[in-house]
Amino acid sequence: MKRRDFAINSVAAASLATLPLASLAQKRKDAVVLGMTLEPTAGLDPTASAASAIAEIVLYNIFETLTKINSDGSVTPLLAESWEVSPDLKTYTFKLRKGVKFQNGEPFNANTVKFSFERAAGEKSTNKDKRTFASMERVGVVDEHTVVVINKELNPDFLFLMGQATAILVEPKSADTNATKPVGTGPYKLESWKQGASVTLVKWPNFRNAAAIKMNKATFRFISDPAAQVASLLSGDVDAFPRVAAARSLEQFKRDPRFQIIISGSRAKTILAINNKKKPLDDVRVRRAIAAAIDRKAVIEGAVDGFGVPIGSHYVPGAFGYVDTTGINPYNPDKARALLSEAGVKTPLELSLVLPPVPYARQGGEVIAAQLAKVGIVAKLQNVEWAQWLSGVYGNKNYDLTIISHVEPFDLGNFAKPGYYWNYESPKFNEIYDKINNAPRAADRAKLLGDAQRMLANDAVHAFLFQPQWITVAQKGIRGLWKDMPLFVNDIGALSWS
């Protein structure tokens, strides 16, 4: 008996010896642990809060949209199987996917779309893209699986916007409790949320295409400290860390055969945001002085270890209609001092610089404070947690300066929003933005986009810093991670282990 067992075990051992150790470790692996820098602070409903961390967990996983945005920025069908666009580019007729149900058993149909969009445009809506939905003249139900959206103005990016987290389709009965008990049509459900530690999603067995979903469980672990992020990957506690603060450890990961590294392009804009109504920041000369005091290249090195491209306005290289505006407010400390003097500002000028917990802000804040000090501006650093930033800066506009990265691709419209957190109000910019949205010819839109970028630079609305490049470090065997990041998404349904 022992001899027979030994023979069987020997054969098994010989067979196993032919497999790489990594394959053995990942064989039949159906779970993944992802790292995230920030934890959502206001629940898991992306229609209720501006925090991009919400979408990182729920978009395409729990909640779905009419369209889906892919890594290359292209737009493909999701809950809408197809669509037709009118010649004036204002009317969209969506044919909806049939047989789709929400995780509470309720059907998805045209009435769901109508409810979701009218809710997003409603008086009580806190949707950060409320303007998009308020610009819908009518959302009409043709039949159970056909819905027509008529926009008041042309919006060339409409199909892209319909794939963002703010455009999720919600079930009316569960809409008010989605922050804590999210109910969507996606492949995953919320299993648990351990505040301050992690969120765990589990595969929904009744998803319409459940057989194609390889990961049965996904855990998002919240790790804000850069050193702890690196340690979590090296120890194997985290399988993949999109947008990890690991630039200084990159060579170590490159030498380690356990890992793959993805350097992603982005449409994000990292800015030193300025409160345009605070004195003396309401004087364009003072804002220009702040911009002239900042050496963008030194900020990029100090904040993100060189993984960034300088920008001069709220637009990035590679985007349609981009123009290079970095020469409008170039680094020039002498000019900065002269502008402050011209504006009648007595130095030292003390300003608050509020820094959220992301590494690029904390590290970049130190660099910028040192640069501002050289022209007589004392930046008093205030480190705050994300919830404090959202309430104090974004909500109550209680700040002078802050460092933040705006990650949405098409967000020039924020400068036309009344009461937005940076308090910029310009009828001339609003006029240009309206023309952009109503220009049917691409060449006309490109020219107008250039005009808008130059205006924001000349008005020195902010000190525009850089377009970040994101680093993803992951176990070698994970497949399906995004190569580029037109928006912040972790599409768990596309992941698998090789």
Structural domain includes residue 15: no
Are residues 475 and 464 located together in one domain of the fold? no
Whole-number Cα distances in Å, 416 to 159, 304, 437, 463: 21, 30, 12, 18
In a domain, 44, yes or no: no
Supply the CATH number for residue 409's domain: 3.10.105.10
434: how many CB neighbours lie within 10 A of its CB? Answer: 13
The number of domains in the chain is: 3
Same structural domain, 366 and 386 = yes
Residue 437 has a pLDDT of 85
pLDDT value of residue 410: 84
Distance in angstroms (rounded) separating the CA atoms of residues 195 and 211:
31
pLDDT of amino acid 278: 97
In-domain check, residue 488: yes
For residues 100 and 164, membership in a common domain is answered with yes
Q: Are residues 92 and 171 in the same domain?
A: yes
Domain's final residue, options 153, 177, 201: 177
Continuous segment of H or E residues that includes residue 228: helix 226-235
Rounded Cα gap, residues 270 and 386, in angstroms:
16
Domain boundary among 177, 202, 234: 177
Outline where DSSP puts E strands in 130-185. 136-143, 146-151
Same domain, 123 and 213: no
Domain containing 149: what range? 63-177
Domain assignment present for residue 191? The answer is yes
Same-domain check for residues 331 and 190: no
Alpha helices by DSSP H, listed for 349-476, are 359-373, 386-388, 427-437, 442-458
Same domain, 356 and 412: yes
Which phi and psi angles does 481 have, rounded to 5°?
Answer: -70, 145
Phi-psi region for residue 158, left (φ > 0), alpha (ψ -120 to 50) or beta? Answer: alpha
Q: Are residues 202 and 143 in the same domain?
A: no
- Asked if the structure places residue 412 within a domain, the reply is yes
Q: Quick one: DSSP state of residue 54?
A: H
Q: Is 99 left (phi over 0), alpha (psi -120 to 50) or beta?
A: left
The pLDDT value given to residue 439: 87
Residue 328: per-residue pLDDT: 98
Q: Are 161 and 211 in a shared domain?
A: no
User: Which CATH number do you get for residue 195?
Assistant: 3.40.190.10
Residue 54 lies in a domain: no
Same domain for 347 and 462?
yes
CB 400 within 8 A of CB 349: no
Instruction: Give the pLDDT of the chain (498 residues) as one tens digit per residue.
Output: 333 333 333 333 333 333 344 444 444 589 999 999 999 988 999 999 888 899 999 999 999 999 999 998 899 999 999 999 998 889 999 999 999 999 999 999 999 999 999 999 999 999 999 999 999 999 999 999 999 999 998 888 899 999 999 999 999 999 999 999 999 999 999 999 999 999 999 999 999 999 999 999 999 999 999 999 999 999 999 999 999 999 999 999 999 999 999 999 889 999 999 999 999 999 999 999 999 999 999 999 999 999 999 999 999 998 999 999 999 999 999 999 999 999 999 999 999 999 999 999 999 999 999 999 999 999 999 999 999 999 999 999 999 999 999 988 889 999 999 999 999 999 999 999 999 988 888 899 999 999 999 999 999 999 999 999 999 999 999 999 999 888 899 999 999 999
The pLDDT score that the predictor gives to residue 88 is 86
CA distance 388 to 395: 9
Q: What is the pLDDT of residue 28?
A: 55
Instruction: Classify strands 349-355 and 401-406 as parallel, antiparallel or unpaired.
Output: parallel
At which residue do the structure tokens 């027979």 appear?
4
Asked whether residue 3 is domain-assigned, the answer is no
In 293-347, where does DSSP find H-type helix? Answer: 296-304, 333-342
331 and 453 housed in the same domain: yes
Using an 8 Å Cβ cutoff, are 145 and 98 in contact?
Answer: yes
Rounded to 10 deg, the angle between the 359-373 and 296-304 helix axes is: 140
Identify whether 399 is part of a domain.
Answer: yes
Same domain as 157, residue 72: yes
CATH at residue 161: 3.90.76.10
